[in-house]
Structure 1
Amino acid sequence: MKLFAFRSIRTQIMISTTMLIVTLIGGTVTVWAKNESDRYLEEKLNQGKLLSQVLSSTYSNELSQENWSQIRINLDLLLKESDEFIYALVSDASQNHQIVAASPNEFQNNYIPDIVPITVTNRALQSYPKTRIIDTVILRDIYFSEILRAKRGEQVVEIASDILSLSGKKLGTLRLGVSLRRIDQAVITVITHALMVGVVGLTIGWIFAYILAHHLSDPVQRLQTSAAKIAGGDLDHRAEINHRTDEIGALANSFNEMSAALQISFNKAQKTLETFERFVPNKFIAVIAPQGIENIELGVASVRTMTIVFVDIRGYTSMSEAMAPLEIFTFLNDYLACMGEAIDKAGGFIDKYIGDAIMALFDDEATDCALKSAILMQEALSKFNLERSLQQNPNHNGLPKIAVGIGIHRGEVVMGTVGFTSRIDSTVIGDTVNVASRIEGLTKQYGCDILVTESVVNNLSYPQLFSLKLVDKSVKVKGKDEAISIYELQVDN
């Protein structure tokens, strides 16, 4: 079946059906032709044997009286009456088996005719009480009345019988050559009829095979199409195999059950992925898991140049001491949502929350987006404070305003995964992160809301869009030997 492995079910059914029908037709034709051939041959041989025995008895008197002319006339009449007889020979035992009568008459007076092998002649002349039937071939063309009677190499049957006297003495031998052409014609006729029946059977078989193939292959093709659609992401698709109670119908039901289970599993996986992305930003995932989150490994790292933004609430410690834990939790969620929307809107992403502090990253080649996020955060904070002022605490006093310090620095960092096999976390480490945190801390010392370093200013694509004021040309931050310049980003209220 490897030959048909690449073909469709429909083609395989059609080919298999054709081979089966052809095999059946071939077997039927062979058996039928053989039976007809044997039957016809047996019938002709029986007729020939009967005729040979009758003629042998008839020619007994003529041969004993040497009335050979009468025998010759009878033999000529025999060949004229039936073209199944190729030759007829009568030999006289008293004349050393000389052929005394023959038709065609060219074989008269011969002892061994040259139309059949000598072994056939020797066997025919042997004395035997029964009629001899000998299969042989013609050695040369035979003509009778100038008409070709048999061709050289033609298969014939020679029927030989002894001519006996009344006392049982052998007087001679009668030999009749019987053609098998009629048998061959009969076989051809049988084969022709069988082939006609076979063609009809093959046509009917093809029709039913096509119907069966269509009945079987179409549902399979629809299942294949459904599988392709599901593989393409259409998990809502279901295979439609209507009114099938057989194995294909059961397969379709199983397929749809599998599809439904796959959709449920995919939805769970999608929700898990979406939830995971809320913990780890997409840009982080692209670095630490380029081949998918299922392939996250410990120790994956990438060196990148990024802009780091630190945001911290001023006076948070004293504020939290005056609030219940649940109030702090609610307040932080509202505040972080306010700041997070501004960062997200500017094109950055939050790396982590450190208590009330926010560490955000900008992976752009320029630092414009980082400064825009600082401006947006100040605007969002103003709106947040306005909403808080309209809220009442239990003492019926307006909630206090929130002030934040924002520090921004740009430099080289290492982004990757840290931890151990059972607890992995994504992080960004490096001197740049420490400097950004220190710059945010300087906002209190210099009384500024937003401070940025010289590296940030130098990487602005459109510095004219921002109001920057040099605060300190040379300041040393904790943990860094080299002095850096810091600028205040002024925001119009």
Structure 2
Amino acid sequence: MKFPTFKSIRTRIMVNTTLLLLTVICAIVSVWAKSESHLYRTENVQDANSFVRVLTYTLGDELIEENWSQIRLTLDVLLRENRDFVYVFISDARQQNRIIATSINYLQNQYVPDIVPLKVTNTVVESTKPSVVMETFILRDVYFSGNLRARRGERIMEVASDIRLSSGKKIGTVRMGISLRRIDRAITNVVNQALGVGFMGLVFGWVLAYILAKRLSDPIQRLQISATKIAAGNLQHRAQITNKDEIGALANSFNEMSTALQSSFNKLQKTLESFELFVPNKFILAIAPQGIENIAVGVAATKTMTILFCDIRGYTSMSEMMTPQETFSFLNDYLACMGKAIDQAGGFIDKYIGDAIMALFDDVGCDGALQAAILMQQALDKFNYERRHNNLPKIFVGIGIHRGEVVMGTVGFTCRIDSTVVGDAVNLASRVEGLTKQYGCTVLITESVLKNLSSPELFTLRLVDPGVKVKGKDEAIAIYELLEN
């Protein structure tokens, strides 16, 4: 079992003080209640025994003379004058313990009363002691003179005493049921009094504990607020604590640490900004949810995504006519205009494969990928317009889009890790991009993309082939051309 822990010193002092006070109060209440309960019960048993003995001597002669009417009259008067008495009846041992007089009429002439458990009656009958006292409960509602005397399940104390002749022979038994309501009320009053005293002690203890906790925790709390501000990014903040004790020394060390932390954080921020240029932030969230400091080889996440491949037509022939530096400059200019279109549509570039671009879209639908394809064509038109003014040849591309399940993760070994996306959906998207040359289309999409469009009415699509087989796939797929509106 785990117990809650509290970081605040003030809370700890208050909680510990409260628990200590509650423990003491509960112990006092428990001991007080048990003591009073035992006292009340002992007095009640003594009074009941005395009363039953007197009743035994009083009714002994009547029982011997079989004066049943006088016995019943006595029992009725007894119950009217004593509200704590639930029932009284007398059984005749000479008649196999038949009930010959009772305050409850329907029990008359019965042998086993059904208002208490059978084991109570057996204990009374089999007991060799002159009197028996035991606690039990009522099995059914008990009425006397039309009024409810006790409810079913109510706890009572039964006192039984033998009626004997002067020779010692047992001729009958007096059984009396006494309600424990009065004892319960008395115990409740005692508990309430103890709780009242305990509450006053608890309040007084709380006040003292609060004063002590406040004096100890206030400077620490101010230091905690300073730490929170620094953690939130305010590295220029410094703790304003002037104590001359250990807490003051801690505050000075804290401020020195803040200065060093500010310098280190500035360097780390520049490193992270550079790192995000190599690995997209969305990719990092998928493969390193605990932070890039915990990234490791083999970490992977399975997701359903839309994959976009874009490739330049005739790039090999084009690059042969350029110097390496010209090729490098051309690629940077081309990839910049295409990357802005992908980023604007909500996607992110997974990798550059020479002149090819592989982009991913992790939204619920595929609208972002199609919107990116349209923006990429518009960006390419502007790029070609500038090239035409410089007497450079026009650039043509092919774009393939597919949606499916992929695995995003890290590959490599301990000294060299790379991020990658693998899966049949990636291969199929690449194959679809290759089909753009065969069908003379700029943008081709698969049927899975069409089915996952949130707003298909925003795009103009044309069925190109209802069943084309691509390399590596046994099943034919339908492909559609995305036309510019």
Q: TM-score, normalised by structure 2?
A: 0.52
Q: Distance in 1 between matches of 2:289 and 2:221?
A: 36
Count residues with an aligned counterpart: 278
Letter aligned with residue 340 of structure 1? G
Distance 1:246 1:416, change over 3 A: closer
Partner of 2:336: 337
SS in 2 for 1:434: helix
Distance 1:455 1:219, change over 3 A: closer
- Once the two structures are TM-superposed, the CA of residue 460 in structure 1 deviates from its matched residue by 1.2
Matched, 1:409 2:408: no
Partner of 1:467: 460
Distance 1:446 1:224, change over 3 A: closer
Partner of 1:263: 262
Partner of 1:177: none
What whole-Å deviation, never above 9, does each CA across 1:134-192 have from its counterpart, x for those lacking one?
Answer: xxxxxxxxxxxxxxxxxxxxxxxxxxxxxxxxxxxxxxxxxxxxxxxxxxxxxxxxxxx
What whole-Å deviation, never above 9, does each CA across 1:89-111 have from its counterpart, x for those lacking one?
Answer: xxxxxxxxxxxxxxxxxxxxxxx
Q: Is the 8 A contact 2:346 2:368 kept in 1?
A: yes
Q: Distance in 2 between matches of 1:225 and 1:255?
A: 12
Q: Distance in 2 between matches of 1:372 and 1:289?
A: 29
Q: Distance in 2 between matches of 1:300 and 1:349?
A: 20
- Once the two structures are TM-superposed, the CA of residue 295 in structure 1 deviates from its matched residue by 1.0
CA RMSD in angstroms comes to: 2.9
Q: Is the 8 A contact 2:9 2:217 kept in 1?
A: no
Q: Distance in 2 between matches of 1:367 and 1:217?
A: 55
Letter aligned with residue 237 of structure 1? H
Q: Distance in 1 between matches of 2:433 and 2:220?
A: 66
Q: Is the 8 A contact 2:309 2:429 kept in 1?
A: yes
Q: Distance in 2 between matches of 1:337 and 1:425?
A: 22
Q: TM-score, normalised by structure 1?
A: 0.52
In structure 2, list runs of 5 or more residues that go unmatched.
Answer: 1-7, 14-214
Distance 1:220 1:460, change over 3 A: closer
Distance 1:367 1:220, change over 3 A: closer
Partner of 1:230: 230
Distance 1:227 1:430, change over 3 A: closer
SS in 1 for 2:465: strand
- Once the two structures are TM-superposed, the CA of residue 228 in structure 1 deviates from its matched residue by 3.4
SS in 2 for 1:351: strand
What whole-Å deviation, never above 9, does each CA across 1:359-417 have from its counterpart, x for those lacking one?
Answer: 01111221111111100100111111122233x3xxxxx12221110001111211111
SS in 2 for 1:290: coil
1:447 pairs, out of 440, 446, 454, with: 440
Matched, 1:420 2:419: no
Q: Distance in 2 between matches of 1:232 and 1:367?
A: 37
Distance 1:258 1:483, change over 3 A: same
What whole-Å deviation, never above 9, does each CA across 1:260-315 have from its counterpart, x for those lacking one?
Answer: 21012122222222222222222222221111111112112222221110000111
Partner of 2:375: 376
Partner of 2:291: 292
Q: Is the 8 A contact 2:466 2:477 kept in 1?
A: yes
- Once the two structures are TM-superposed, the CA of residue 219 in structure 1 deviates from its matched residue by 7.6
Letter aligned with residue 424 of structure 2? D
What whole-Å deviation, never above 9, does each CA across 1:39-66 have from its counterpart, x for those lacking one?
Answer: xxxxxxxxxxxxxxxxxxxxxxxxxxxx
Partner of 1:326: 325
What whole-Å deviation, never above 9, does each CA across 1:292-344 have from its counterpart, x for those lacking one?
Answer: 11111211222222111000011111111111211211111111111111111
Q: Distance in 1 between matches of 2:325 and 2:425?
A: 35
SS in 2 for 1:480: coil
State which structure, 1 or 2, has the greater radius of gyration over its C-alpha atoms. 1
Q: Is the 8 A contact 2:405 2:425 kept in 1?
A: yes
- Once the two structures are TM-superposed, the CA of residue 467 in structure 1 deviates from its matched residue by 0.8
Q: Distance in 2 between matches of 1:285 and 1:408?
A: 23
Letter aligned with residue 258 of structure 1? M
Q: Is the 8 A contact 2:400 2:445 kept in 1?
A: yes
- Once the two structures are TM-superposed, the CA of residue 255 in structure 1 deviates from its matched residue by 3.4
Q: Distance in 2 between matches of 1:476 and 1:248?
A: 75
Q: Is the 8 A contact 2:350 2:359 kept in 1?
A: yes
Q: Distance in 1 between matches of 2:407 and 2:296?
A: 16
Partner of 1:483: 476
Q: Percent of pairs identical after alignment?
A: 75
Q: Distance in 2 between matches of 1:443 and 1:250?
A: 71
SS in 1 for 2:271: helix
Distance 1:228 1:437, change over 3 A: closer
Q: Distance in 2 between matches of 1:490 and 1:228?
A: 54
- Once the two structures are TM-superposed, the CA of residue 354 in structure 1 deviates from its matched residue by 0.3
What whole-Å deviation, never above 9, does each CA across 1:187-230 have from its counterpart, x for those lacking one?
Answer: xxxxxxxxxxxxxxxxxxxxxxxxxxx9x999877555433321
Q: Distance in 2 between matches of 1:423 and 1:7?
A: 47
SS in 2 for 1:399: coil
- Once the two structures are TM-superposed, the CA of residue 477 in structure 1 deviates from its matched residue by 0.7
Residues 264-283 of structure 1 mapped to structure 2, 5 A cutoff = 264-283=263-282
Q: Is the 8 A contact 2:311 2:356 kept in 1?
A: yes
In structure 1, list runs of 5 or more residues that go unmatched.
Answer: 1-5, 12-213, 393-397
Letter aligned with residue 418 of structure 2? D
- Once the two structures are TM-superposed, the CA of residue 251 in structure 1 deviates from its matched residue by 6.2
